[in-house]
A = this chain, B = another copy of it.
Amino acid sequence: MQHFDKDSIDLFPSRYRASLINSLSGFKSANLVGTVNGEGHTNLAMFSSVVHIGASPALVGLVMRPNSVSRHTLENIRETGQYTINQVSESFWREAHQTSARYEGYESEFECTNLTPSYIEHHDAPFVEQSRLKYALLLREIVPITLNDTLFVIGEITDILCDTDAVMEDGYIDIEKLATVSVSGLDSYHTTARLSRIQYAKPNETAQLISLSGELYPLCDGQ
């Protein structure tokens, strides 16, 4: 097993370091963030840092770099207080990745990548038509992370759009059926294969595997 200590981490060349450190957090979510500015100009940007914060209220966070390629996304969220998050699926992962190119402010990533904007009433930010699970958010807080001048942008979910047959009876959404992809490192995309759902764990009991719809398998009874 290789051991990189602090001294060797500090000496990594910049690109090597970015690739390696980005691999450490594990598989990451792949989401497109849709925004619009006050003049109606749309923007779409790839993020692998969307993270669940809480269910009640329904809060989601994402890490943003103010001076990066995603600066227009941040400006639009600040200006309008609105954005959408759209899960990336296998059918358009290359187009989604292409949104991370450094387009000019007057160019819309929708047009440049052939992804299609769509809208709902009472929310101005564009969704990605091709996405099979997406939601609208209102900005709640931008928390500065002073350690490296990034921002933790937190929004509350107001509307959820999802392929109907992926929503299980207990509320679990089968995002594997939606062919949602995940990301590793800076540039690797992956589909998934379910090991299983599993019961809520309790001390001194072995949690049993459960079915996709959240029920114990009959054959597991009494195991």
A interface list, Cβ under 8 A from B: 1-6, 9, 12, 14-31, 48-61, 63, 85, 87-88, 90, 93-94, 97-104, 107, 112, 120, 132-133, 135, 140-141, 143, 145-148, 150, 152, 154, 156-164, 167-168, 170-173, 175-176, 180-182, 184-207, 210, 214
In whole angstroms, what is the CA distance A49 to B55 when docked? 13
Which residues from B are CB-within-8-Å of A202? 101-102
In whole angstroms, what is the CA distance A85 to B24 when docked? 9
Secondary structure of the A contact surface, majority rule = mixed
In whole angstroms, what is the CA distance A215 to B27 when docked? 21
Copies of this protein, total: 2
In whole angstroms, what is the CA distance A21 to B185 when docked? 25
Q: Is the CB of A20 within 8 A of B53?
A: no
Q: Is the CB of B190 within 8 A of A198?
A: no
